[in-house]
Copies of this chain bind each other. A is one copy, B any other.
Amino acid sequence: MSETLLDLIRGRVSVESFDPSRSLAESEIKDLVADAVTAPSSFNIQHWRFLAVRRPADKALLREAAFGQAQVAEAAVTFVVLGDVRGMDKLPAILERAVADGSLPEPKAAAWLRMARAIYADPAAAREEAQRSGCLAAMTLMLAAQARGLGSAALSGFDAERVCREFAIDDRYVPIMLVAVGHVALAHPSRQPRLSLDEVLAFDRGRFP
């Protein structure tokens, strides 16, 4: 058992105050995203996309669209995590690469393509999967940041339409959440109490108090 990882998972809290004087290099931002995309993905479609907002003027714009939340601007980088509702468009090319490198047998790739086309022909299913993928990658990114000694804050309160307009985001990409990442200022918030396990975990049948 890796106590180190468990300690890091348990030690992660949403940062309320970042050190605005410390930036991250482009290579550090890329490393975070490279770890984030190890999250699981339905048929390997990888609906997730990341817009890294790091210039002060852009962070100020984003902060305005996020109802003034300070972390957005104070963090070294704030990611707009997006989901591609037309993620399926890339699946044939994705499967070709997997077949070419030997990680996926050709008949399985063909079956996946048929199944994925059937499932994601429904726009609601495509949208839900895009959101799910984005969230899984976002959580992985936050823990990867934690492992690097950085802090993060997930923010779901923002004006999505305004973000898309200000940052020239095509409407095939749905903003899912903002993830601010940077060096933590001195004051760490304490974790608020969670619901008890009995309130959130049921065995055998889905009855919750």
Report whether A144 and B9 are in contact in the complex, using a CB–CB cutoff of 8 Å.
yes
Give chain B residues whose Cβ lies under 8 Å from the Cβ of A115: 157
Distance of A193 from chain B, by nearest CB (Å): 5
The secondary structure that dominates the A interface is mixed
Chain B residue at minimum C-beta to C-beta distance from A109: B192
Does residue A121 face the partner (Cβ distance < 8 Å to B)? no
A35 touches B51 (CB 8 A): no
The digit string for A15-44, where 1 denotes a CB below 8 A from any CB of B, is: 000000000001001100111011110101
CA distance A203 to B39 in the complex (A): 21
Residue pair A104, B33 in contact (C-beta under 8 Å)? no
Interface residues of A (CB under 8 A from B): 1-2, 4-6, 8-10, 12, 14, 26, 29-30, 33-35, 37-40, 42, 44, 46, 48-55, 58, 80, 82, 84, 90, 94, 97-98, 101, 103-104, 115, 119, 128-129, 131-132, 135-136, 138-140, 142-144, 146-149, 153-154, 156-157, 164, 167-170, 173, 176-177, 189-195, 197, 199-208
Kindly state the separation between the CA atoms of A40 and B146 in the bound complex, as whole angstroms: 13
Given A48-B200, A52-B202, A90-B199, 18 extra CB contacts under 8 A: A5-B147, A12-B38, A26-B203, A29-B201, A30-B201, A33-B200, A37-B194, A40-B142, A46-B195, A51-B206, A52-B203, A80-B206, A84-B208, A129-B156, A136-B139, A168-B205, A170-B208, A173-B206
